Amino acid sequence: MNSLLDKQHIELLTYQHIPYSDAWKIQEDLFNSKVQLKIYNRTATDLKPVSHHLILCTHPHVYTLGKSGLMEHLLLSNETLKQYETEFFNTNRGGDITYHGPGQIVGYPIFDLDQYYTDIGRYLRDLEEIIIRTIAHYNIVGGRIPGLTGVWIDIDSDHPRKICAMGIRASRWITMHGFALNVNTDLSFFNHIIPCGITDKEVTSIEKEIGVKVDEKEVQILIIKYFEEVFDSRVG
């Protein structure tokens, strides 16, 4: 365990109800600047540090499709999307289709994994671990299903449920996109898609599992705490 002064610093950016396109632009700007820095550092003698950022936010209603996703997994027409005041975006992350909206905490780590480890599988497992520890605060036991990303509950039952979706992009070991944790989410919006392309499993939220609304600020504080633990870093 590093001392406080030795820990890497992750700069925290928080936004409430930020449009998906605006958050994506912020991600892309940070991502591209870090990639360019790494390219520069390959031949430079005056090496420039590559920083880490963590964006935590909520979005207005939006469906996003990953680069390996299928358009038919969106079950609404353009006209119906407008009726629901919901946007749609094709994205450059991995994975299929998912929903973001009020009551859901979305996290976008823009990290230089060269400064941690160069292992995308481990990175995804670490993101899952952060969410598993977060929901444990509410006496919800999270787990993983082999071959699937994200965090699930009741994984050994006949009705496993996804509580947190994940999809990332990485280039030169710089990451972007991330996770979406359902806290007080209106789960009816998942009825209009085939979430993550999976037809035989349900989606859930912290609120649905424990029967009461949850303080989203408290959940965010927990996520930050476990980012610090899992990545042995300072967030702020």
Q: Could you read off the pLDDT of 191-218 as tens digits, one per residue?
A: 999 988 887 889 999 999 999 999 999 9
Active site residue 196: yes
Cβ of 226: how many Cβ atoms within 10 Å?
20
3-class state of residue 234 by DSSP? strand
Topology given in CATH for the domain delimited by 8-235: BirA Bifunctional Protein; domain 2 (3.30.930)
Cα 61 to Cα 115: distance, rounded to the nearest angstrom: 35
Q: How far is CA 214 from CA 61, 104, 134, 138, 209, in A?
A: 19, 11, 12, 9, 11
pLDDT score for 196:
82
What pLDDT is attached to residue 198? 82
| Catalytic residue (choose from 105, 196, 222, 223) | 196
Give the separation between CA 87 and CA 80, rounded to whole angstroms: 10
Confidence (pLDDT) at 195: 84
Cβ contacts of residue 23 below 8 Å, gap of 6+? 15, 55, 57, 59, 106, 108
97-100: strand order across its sheet: 87-90, 62-65, 97-100
**pLDDT at residue 72, as a whole number:** 94
In this prediction, residue 221 carries a pLDDT of 98
Q: What is the pLDDT of residue 197?
A: 84
Sort residue 173 into left (φ over 0), alpha (ψ -120 to 50) or beta: left
Q: Are strands 104-110 and 52-57 parallel, antiparallel or unpaired?
A: antiparallel
Domain parsing of the chain, residue ranges: 8-235
110-146 pLDDT per residue, tens: 999 999 999 999 999 999 999 999 999 999 999 999 9
Positions in the chain whose pLDDT score sits under 70: 1-5
